Amino acid sequence: MKAILEFNLPEDKVDFNLAVKGSDWWHVCWKMDQNLRTKIRYDESISEHTREVYEELREELRQIMLDNNVDFNEVE
């Protein structure tokens, strides 16, 4: 099976960039999720309040992804 995306450049440059940079956006979100996870689990220098804020941010990131039907596991 093949999938071909076609764009009329330069008119469709925004749509083209969104399509081409999808993996970059995935990587940014994944990296942020992993950074929050690391801070929550392993950073002993942060306060409990800060840890809770990181947990809330990570949950919010994952909820936004869920609301938009995207999942880190879709690319594996």
In order along its 76 residues, the chain shows pLDDT tens digits of 999 999 999 999 999 999 999 999 999 999 999 999 999 999 999 999 999 999 999 999 999 999 999 998 887 6
Domain locations along the chain = 35-70
Rounded CA-CA distance 33/38 in Å is: 9
| pLDDT in the model for residue 75 | 76
In the block, which residue shows the tokens 């942020």?
A: 32
| pLDDT in the model for residue 45 | 97
Rounded CA-CA distance 70/23 in Å is: 12
| pLDDT in the model for residue 76 | 64
